[in-house]
Structure 1
Amino acid sequence: MKFVSFTRLGKAGFGAWIDGGIVDLTGRLAADCLTLKQALVEDLLEIAAEYAIDRKPELALSDVTLLPVIPDPQKILCIGVNYVAHREETKRPEVQYPTVFIRFADSQIGHGAPLVKPARSECLDFEAELAVIIGRGGRNISEEDAMWHVAGYACYNDGSVRDWQRHTSQFAPGKNFPATGAFGPALVTADEIEDYTALSITGRLNGTVVQQAGLSDLIFTIPQLIAYLSAFTSLSAGDVILTGTPGGVGERRDPPLYLKAGDVFEVDIPGVGRLLNPVIAEG
């Protein structure tokens, strides 16, 4: 099943995306369960699916504004250089451990919202990624048990301001400009994806394919990432792991291909979703 976070009439909520519409779940599983993150924390996602499955949508997508799938995750843990083609285009060496950096929740936008090219840079780049949403938290999770902790998946565009990313060896400044991380349109529950390694990921700029790979090409697998990350920090329900981007990023093209106002970038993962965002310039 697919779940979305949204605002309607000035209030945040969440629901199940069924038959092109939304079954509103806000406050219906428990009086205080008002967000998708709360449903994950309280282990109510299965109950939410059972509640929604036989109901007709009450809301059209046009009735709501979609938010990032998890608008307020406690942690967004991002993995860099996790496809061979991307490692080769960046000329980085093979490594023993994943490259990890942090994105802040307030840098995110939802499906359909505009990515904002910052006034301080001309180097906003695209990064199509698979996001993993944690459903059951834990520490020191084994690779064998890791997938039990996954609630589901979504599309992500980890927009990167490359000149700021290169200021030092730490990526954080280039990864946290406002409205540069697009997350959506929905969480697709893990039981809908029999084998994530059979999925493909495509990034399109103005309808033209610029990135494409199979999820089987990940250098560090999802179980490896969960095991590694949970060794140094406790994972919590609602946390998000960005698994890395394939080759083809704009900065490594000749000449570089950066996002500009008027562009539209799309992340397409069949079975998971299609995330689309226009680009505007910072006002």
Structure 2
Amino acid sequence: MQQDAENLKSGTLIEWLVPLAFIVCAAWVTWHMPAFILDWGVYTEQLDEQFTRLDVTPNLPVVMGEHIDIIDILALLGLPVFAILGVMTVRRAAMEFEDWRKMDRLAVFVGRVTMMLIVLLTSVMLYEVIVRYVFESPTLWANELSLWLAGFVFLCSGLYAMQQRSHIRIFLIYDMFPRTMQRVCDVISTSLIALFAFFLIYGGYGEAFAKFNRWETFGTAFDPPIPATLKPMVLFVVALVATQAIINLISDWNAEPVIHSAADDIDQDEIDRLKKSVGADEGGDLDVAGGAVQSTKTGQE
């Protein structure tokens, strides 16, 4: 319990710098992925021309193969380093799901990365609005970059939502069952998720590998590799979601039955604000489901 209380103190600087550093390394490796494909995969003249056009540091000496420079190597090595560091340092915030284990740290870290991606996405959109409507000089990359980041946000947030048990669930019949039948329903739902992930990966692997191997781009002026990155990312995240669903099943197996109500959608901070707004912060009891406040002082009078 003491460890859980310490975990509530989240939001330290390292928890935000590490995901940001991970995103920087991932962005560099992704943008220079043609260099790794050319040296470690299949060489094509089209990909070579594309890398020549996209290379951010063309004047740096090559340290591996014919295309990979020192920054490429450092960024590639930084990915597992910052991922491990982020998983080790991430802590549960006060509003997050309480019963989490060490196996949940990866999903929570992905959630932190997703939050930073949302900040970057908002910054890109804000920058585009300013330069377009204030300076009348719109960019060629903001729209595609926003779509690209939004795709990663959509995918990564699914894993975080699964770990937080915040995905859409219908409890009308589930709450009526005894705990034994609830476990049966949990096994069935988790099995369906794993089965869906298996067939999606099995059916989509060939296309995803082909798009990645030729580093398929979006075909616009900015021409980002959205198909080459998002298609494999879909399969990767779906596999993680299925794994997290199994972890949830194991973690919640001995949990006590939970009766769901309308109050589940309101956190404690919001309840406190509601109490304060109606003057019930001194001895008042707020019935969230019914929306009524019953004062203990009134009963005494």
Q: Under a length normalisation based on structure 1, what TM-score does the superposition of the two structures give?
A: 0.25
| Structure label with greater radius of gyration | 2
Higher strand share: 1
